[in-house]
Amino acid sequence: MSNKPKFFGTDGIRGVAGSFPLDRAMVGKIGRALGRVLRATSGTPRVLLGQDTRESGEWISRTLATGLRAEGAEVTYAGVITTPGVAFLTRHHAFAAGVVVSASHNPYEDNGIKVLARTGMKFSEDAEVEIERALEQVDAGGVAIPEAPLEIKPGLLEDYLEFLASLVPSGKSFHGYRLVVDCAHGAASRAAPALFARLGIEARILHAEPTGRNINLQCGSLYPETMQATTQSLGADLGVAFDGDADRAIFATRPGRLVDGDHVLFGVAPFLAQRGLLKGGAVVGTLMTNLALELAFARHGLALKRTAVGDKYVLEEMLRSSINLGGEPSGHLIFADVSLAGDGFITLLHVLWLLSETGQSLDAVVSGYRPFPQIIRNVRVRAKKVLEGVPEIAQAIEECRGALGARGRVVVRYSGTEPLARVMVEAEDAATVEFHAAQIAGAIDAALGLR
């Protein structure tokens, strides 16, 4: 068997709910395989299970739980809860593992299975390979015990909210801030109103009426326009949009400027460094982090370390280099001193702390950041061949790199969760960016696109 997982991508096992590998038979086998792996080291493993609001979440959760119980695991069900909420509760209550049924920012037809270790981190690739090895040994005939309904254990969401509230610095209050909050009809729909009420924050809540089919539908962090417009029209202090499982946060300023993960790092990193709270003298970003942010950090004497795209790679580098801040433009940020999982609520609380300490508006905090024009083109492909091994694609990429030199970047990669090639071109001149992105995307489409 390969030393790389076959079914696990950068964010767990993901696909169309009801279709392989997320059909009922396979989901049951995944539950059993995970149960066997955990039982080998934990005796009778205790597993925490949570989900977002997709209509497929309930049957996938039930089927997973049935498979886990067939292998002797004890399953505690948290119901609808954020991914970082499961990460916290797994660590806080010493579960052997946490499992989240979610496809994050994807449309409702998709779903996924994320497995978290007892630390709250995602399972390592070695552990994922071990689960897949156990899959080969599981009886293909299905699980051995009848499926039973899941009952939500009370108090778990409250434990998570109490943890979040405890992150407000002693003597600080965010009472009086006026927010616009987009819950993406996802897992934040339960947590957000309760948290803001607890903190005395006035919040206009948007998109918090999940139907099972409206998660991320023209709302949330991928579609922040409604949040942005509402923030501006109400004159709110800031707006925030979460994705379906609330591990991402995208912001808007009072005048209506969108603020992504790079903007937040631009403001937060020097703020923490000035207070002696930034470890390692650096921030971890990815190949998609804007070059302008790297140059801005350099002016503050800070370095940017880049990794492959994906929060698991960001966290690995943070731990390897003893760095406590990292993240992606998508709004997935990790504050490692607080949590090893990206958490949209934790990001929001850090932004509010920065504003309250400096007395500045979010617009003022990010006013000095001017990202280079950047275009990302997605090309749906029929096969994921090595991109630079295809001559016409390699030529287009090399021509771009030669034209941009040191004042620009090109990153061409495959999505870890979808049959897409992603082309990112970034430089100081927007027309140059547009031209080269179109050239490379066209070459990929001609060679590998759906025909």
Catalytic residue list: 104
Q: How far is CA 257 from CA 72, 260, 364, 428, in A?
A: 52, 10, 11, 20
Task: Read off φ and ψ for residue 199, nearest 5 degrees.
Answer: -90, 0
The number of helices, as runs of H, and strands, as runs of E, in the chain is 14, 17
State how far the Cα of 85 lies from the Cα of 171, in Å rounded to an integer: 25
Which pair of tokens denotes residue 7? 């079914």
DSSP 166-220: HTSPTT---TT-EEEEE-TTSTHHHHHHHHHHHHT-EEEEES----SS-TTTT-S
Amino acid at position 55, single letter:
E
Which pair of tokens denotes residue 246? 């609330």
Strands 178-182, 97-101: pairing kind: unpaired
Q: Which residue has the tokens 């994807």?
A: 106
- Which H or E run contains 334? strand 333-335
Q: How far is CA 400 from CA 376, 391, 410, 432, 441, in A?
A: 14, 14, 7, 9, 12
Given a contact cutoff of 8 angstroms between Cβ atoms, the answer to whether 214 and 52 are in contact is no
Residue 442, classed as helix, strand or coil, is helix
Residue 360, classed as helix, strand or coil, is coil
Given a contact cutoff of 8 angstroms between Cβ atoms, the answer to whether 421 and 309 are in contact is no
Reading across the β-sheet that carries 420-427, which strands appear in turn?
Answer: 374-380, 420-427, 408-414
ω into 21 cis (within 30 of 0): yes
